[in-house]
Structure 1
């Protein structure tokens, strides 16, 4: 039975083949690579879904956002069969070109047939060539210099290749030497061919992996039209390797199954920061003024935002104001807007408003590490125990219990009681951990919850509304943050795999119990599922614990908050900590040996240090380290343009065999290629561009609103204010949009200092 897993490979990533399998990145970072990663970061991340076991019809339901380089040509989705003892098998793939994605501006959605993976089409990398037509006595001569290649596909079991280049022209073939064990070879070899007058032939440069026993593996080729080359004007550059499409392909679509995808490509041209300053300053001015603002642009943005794109707009606004240090003020303004139009306490923050969506994004960005600290140990215990838990009598499965061959049927009552005990233990441990985590909660999260608590208490005073401020806090903390993380721990990066059916049921029941505690154990919540009654004593105790926790959380004084922030800034809190392996090389020549030393690293916003023993939970995921390194290095003005992906062993680099240790790197850095996750760095210019793009889409509605305000001001129905009139603030926004539109149209892509940003949104 197949165990499908989906591997999404962005451009520049190794393409898995049937002979290669799914190559997992090495779980160590050699010491010789640390300086290169700190100065110039590149990523070879591929995104992998969880494995769905024992099925031919898997469902993943996972969503990703990936930043791609502006020069990408295609993305591929590989469906893999995971094997515990051998290499993973490739079931099939779906490849979407950039042109295909661009032809669906609203997104590509639907079922697509899997195709067989042909090794001759699984190529990657680039080759550096210098081409020149030189005049001769009798005829011109074509000179082709094969300099180097980078990021070639690894075809051998050692994770590399033995590449050589074959140059063909008019039946003549010449070959370079073979570079052993390298995906970044350097040849620096030149070949010459005699050209006939009026020649219309093409020059074919093929890259191959040499094999001693089996046939050579194709690595890609470049075909060059000779006619476009001019005499005595050499051309030099990097050429992308292309697959061999001359062979007839097998048409086996449908035989390997189909994959349902929802993919949308957002190709954004990000202007220099100075272009977005008027827009950012205008929005920040509105947030600082709050409800006393003249135009309330934030409220207008909410009115003109449809339900389908409200989450994206909320996330972009939240990240923009978070970068400006105004996240708390922005959320406070949204709280006031929501409270001003809410009269029933039971509907407060229960809709998908801009306030609710922004708060969800805020907790995922600012509170994810806090969530991991509180919830991580409980989730790990549930996964490790794998106990059968069920409270619904209609779903109970009676099991056999006993030992030494003396089995007896377990009664339904015993199953229910044992399940209740297990859930009470998990719920009690979670609430206890939450009660002890007041100081561990990030300062900005505490300040936001304190402001929310105060606003709700001001809006709904009186003893009859005593629990309303607490429910307002728990509606976000429990119902929209902790409960979803309990039900889907992989989506919150708490586990690498989705839960099996038994564990998933336990997590669902635990999430329901947390929701009941978050609802303050109201009669309405108890009436929904009466079979949850065995948990009521723990739920009632949890309500008291939760109220005490929230009281302590919101009672921290402003002075203490400022002192805490100052202390945190002095301590430079760690961005990432955990074990890494240092590569050690001993001796030279044939006596050279290698070893790895395990050390525990601490990456902060100021330094990278290490110790011999751990001081916290060990984490060794290389992709998370790369994301943390990107976070602290994104604003480094000294980013290198290239780096060595290998290690300097003996007297040469293992990647390109270059013997100069401080020489130029053989692979280019790609600092902007990131997986769009909660722990990736904020890109303020990109967020401003996405907000501008959204406002541009609702510009007609903004103009209509401006005309209404203008007519109201003339008729006297809009009250005059001592400062700007509402229409003046909106008029400023419309002028800013016009200026940005002109900046985009007058700035060619090549003249912009910032690269185009390709954001790929996909759902499987």
Structure 2
């Protein structure tokens, strides 16, 4: 492997926040303890808002029940969850309080549900950003600086009468808070001794930048009797006709003796709140917020590093039995049903075109262990979870084209559809109207689904066809099963689930609020869709004649749902469902003969939409009015925008005309999160609302334009303003770009290296389960044939896997390393020795041992074939060792190339020091 550790290594972080509920929020008025508030929560990376929940009206104990997931595209210091009150009159929302979590806090509460106290907020605590400082002691005699090449001792300095000065250079800052969209920062440097200010100096103010480059140096005289002192660097936003706004500060406790003995300090520091605020402890009671956090950080190496693991996963479908394959084992090692492992497994197998083969093998295994066809795939089995994830992964555009218009109607029209008489104030008047409203929506959903067969992705049809054939083979006497195995996925787990939770399936923007009435309507529609999925001409003969036989027809628990369903159902429904299921599970050779429902008047499928700020095109002068809010729509064919969501398009850009999509540097317009879309006619600049949204638009646009012809190979990272490109200073507007475009994988839907690293991280973080499974395999093999294991166990003498791990991130982080680095070597073919074991289960029969499960270590695992399972575990262990060795080398390399002050030191998440970018050295370069 001929790559250096300093190259092509990425760190990818992912965050998921599940909002549970808030309780005991303070009442709005001091006089009325029961007065509720209109509250919502907002999620921020430092001070940048990336998500906002729905508003919950007139309550002090809102039940939120929302979740948000994203990749984190930038470095951050604090994760802040604000509890806000909406003010309808003033239109200026009020902050009730916040929960503020450092990276260390996030890791401590990873995957745990916890009640967090809500703390107060004021201007002195609302800080973010970093500052780069240089700090050193210099000695002067007769106005001349003494040489640092041959430093004098303290005694020599004292005898010579040399003067000691503290030299501090403020280099630059980044990610500072903006005040009304701008930041005019300046810094104040103060020297303290015994909490008494001795001297103070300040920089000049820089205009309109959150990334100021000060490059100013200050020196302070230090008396000889000073040993310990403190330097405080404070940042402010300059207000010309008022008081400056505090942006944050850094306090450095220093020792003159230590500074004399080391090289000058050069490091980044996080800005913190005022010391006075951080020392407060008499907070008022503001309630608590229940959250569940998931945070992963994976260090991703180049593709060749994962060759062995990739081969094991990709070839899993060929292993017999399938339960002994690498993919199956990894999914079973992870607690909570293996949820964390399902997504990377499905994506790796999908990208390598092996997903249908693997799912077919898993389905065959599960069918062979099922005797009752009515319960097939109804549980939360591995196949069910994989197919769920696979349908979401490849079927999102299909889902959008089928249900997006219905969801938009329900959310915008807000028609009452409640049919539960116990929830109606006037049943006689409301029930007929609500029933008709619900029937209208249910009819639309049913027609949209049953007419969408031709739009179903071919890969899903191939999977459904495989499942139908397996069901027909396993249950030849039950002709209904071949349809039910398809309907349970496509109706129950796909369409009905998407209607029930449209945000989770991208059927409505995350920022769009779903009020309780619309949410109830979606729930009722989802119930109907679930039920019609059970209707086929095979299992519902003479359906109208059976309406009275509840127990043999549709399993509704609620009386009101049964009454509605009896009105909704007609003779054509079973035949339409049967026809739809037959079409989406047909042999692919007959797909071209399927009839297509065409509707030329229907709008194109919208893949992403939202309100963004754009810069007017073909303007030469910079002005505030050039940037305007517009509502953008991105389809598979074009990017267009209008004045508002319902307005007519003002501009439409065909995607096949896009020459490139890149980020724009902040310096051009003093704005963050700006993208540039390069076209033959010019460049369109659009500003996204936050860094997460920017990354989502960038990734989607790049993926949709990846195969475009004539794409540019270079671009300008800055804009053309006042007659010149700010990046290269060329005055020719048509000048070729001065920077190479970002490298993208053409047509790649999946970052394979990232997904493989995630699987490796899950194996490492669940190594206790791995060892438990290994031990049980050994017990079974010893019972079956004592002394004749041939060598399946001999490897462990030379390859002991430790259960203790070191981790610089989370327990399931990709930067984990085994304490013993998984020991020395795994010698293939060294099978001469068979160790002796303490056998606790020698009295058990072979059948009992074969059926035993691993439990007590957060997992349960059935062992079908201990010998094949052991071979697979050995192969996985070998991959784990190879990858963990690379993680260990990379951590050592980071330590070697990291300057924290002047000391070589490990990275500490709780320390205020920030890692400087490692400089590659010959000592830190490792090759395989």
Q: Rg larger in 1 or in 2?
A: 2
TM over 0.5, shorter chain = yes
In structure 2, distance between residues paired with 1:457 and 1:59: 46
Q: 1:729 to 1:559 in 2, by over 3 A?
A: farther
**Cα deviation 1:3-55 (Å, max 9, x = unaligned):** 211112234x43xxxxxxxxxxxxxxxxxxxxxxxxxxxxxx62222222232
What's the offset of the Cα at 1:660?
6.0
Give 1:427's match in structure 2, choosing from 435, 438, 442.
442
In structure 2, distance between residues paired with 1:507 and 1:361: 22
Contact 2:333-2:770 within 8 A present in 1 as well:
no
**Cα deviation 1:293-329 (Å, max 9, x = unaligned):** 69444555566554x2422222232233233332222
Give the TM-score, by structure 2 length: 0.63
SS in 1 for 2:785: helix
Which one is further off, 80-89 or 579-588? 579-588
Give 2:166's match in structure 1, choosing from 133, 142, 146.
142
Indicate the residue corresponding to 2:42 in structure 1: 7
What's the offset of the Cα at 1:353?
1.1
Gaps of at least 5 residues in structure 1 are 15-44, 399-411, 562-572, 613-618, 663-668, 673-678, 759-764
Q: How does 1:173-572 map to 2 (within 5 A)?
A: 173-197=200-224, 199=226, 200-224=228-252, 225=254, 227=256, 228-230=258-260, 233-247=263-277, 250-251=280-281, 253=283, 255-270=285-300, 272-287=302-317, 289=318, 291=320, 295-301=324-330, 306=335, 308-398=336-426, 412-413=427-428, 415-462=430-477, 465-495=478-508, 496-520=511-535, 523-526=552-555, 528-531=557-560, 532-536=562-566, 538-540=568-570, 541-558=572-589
Indicate the residue corresponding to 1:161 in structure 2: 183
Q: 1:592 to 1:361 in 2, by over 3 A?
A: closer
In structure 2, distance between residues paired with 1:276 and 1:388: 54
Contact 1:706-1:731 within 8 A present in 2 as well:
no
Indicate the residue corresponding to 1:594 in structure 2: 626
Contact 1:273-1:685 within 8 A present in 2 as well:
no
Q: 1:504 to 1:576 in 2, by over 3 A?
A: closer
Contact 1:116-1:256 within 8 A present in 2 as well:
yes
Contact 2:348-2:750 within 8 A present in 1 as well:
no
Contact 1:126-1:241 within 8 A present in 2 as well:
yes
In structure 2, distance between residues paired with 1:369 and 1:595: 31
Which one is further off, 53-62 or 742-751? 742-751
Contact 1:276-1:688 within 8 A present in 2 as well:
no
In structure 1, distance between residues paired with 2:386 and 2:896: 31
What's the offset of the Cα at 1:689?
2.4
SS in 2 for 1:181: coil
Q: 1:246 to 1:190 in 2, by over 3 A?
A: same
Bigger RCO (CA 8 Å, 6+ sep): 1
SS in 2 for 1:629: helix
Contact 2:439-2:568 within 8 A present in 1 as well:
yes
What's the offset of the Cα at 1:154?
1.3
SS in 2 for 1:154: coil
**Cα deviation 1:261-286 (Å, max 9, x = unaligned):** 22244455545544433222122222
Contact 2:407-2:499 within 8 A present in 1 as well:
yes
Contact 2:411-2:514 within 8 A present in 1 as well:
yes
In structure 1, distance between residues paired with 2:279 and 2:133: 30
Q: How does 1:39-58 map to 2 (within 5 A)?
A: 46-58=50-62
Indicate the residue corresponding to 2:781 in structure 1: 710
In structure 1, distance between residues paired with 2:70 and 2:275: 29
Q: 1:165 to 1:650 in 2, by over 3 A?
A: farther
Answering whether residue 120 of structure 2 is matched by residue 93 of structure 1, we say no
In structure 1, distance between residues paired with 2:124 and 2:730: 34
SS in 2 for 1:492: coil
Indicate the residue corresponding to 1:172 in structure 2: 199
The answer to which structure has the higher helix fraction is 1
Contact 1:578-1:600 within 8 A present in 2 as well:
no
Contact 1:176-1:187 within 8 A present in 2 as well:
yes
In structure 1, distance between residues paired with 2:111 and 2:742: 26
What's the offset of the Cα at 1:67?
4.2
Q: 1:71 to 1:528 in 2, by over 3 A?
A: closer
In structure 2, distance between residues paired with 1:61 and 1:624: 22
Contact 2:40-2:86 within 8 A present in 1 as well:
yes
Answering whether residue 926 of structure 2 is matched by residue 748 of structure 1, we say no
Answering whether residue 66 of structure 2 is matched by residue 62 of structure 1, we say yes
What's the offset of the Cα at 1:390?
2.8
In structure 1, distance between residues paired with 2:492 and 2:343: 19
In structure 1, distance between residues paired with 2:727 and 2:234: 23
SS in 1 for 2:141: coil
Give the TM-score, by structure 1 length: 0.76
What's the offset of the Cα at 1:202?
2.7
Give 1:78's match in structure 2, choosing from 53, 77, 82.
82
What's the offset of the Cα at 1:647?
6.5
**Cα deviation 1:78-114 (Å, max 9, x = unaligned):** 111233452222110011233334445x644332221
Indicate the residue corresponding to 1:37 in structure 2: none
In structure 1, distance between residues paired with 2:234 and 2:93: 29
Q: 1:314 to 1:735 in 2, by over 3 A?
A: same
In structure 1, distance between residues paired with 2:689 and 2:166: 50
Which one is further off, 418-427 or 742-751? 742-751
Q: Give the total of aligned pairs.
A: 668
What's the offset of the Cα at 1:219?
0.9
Give RMSD over aligned pairs.
4.5
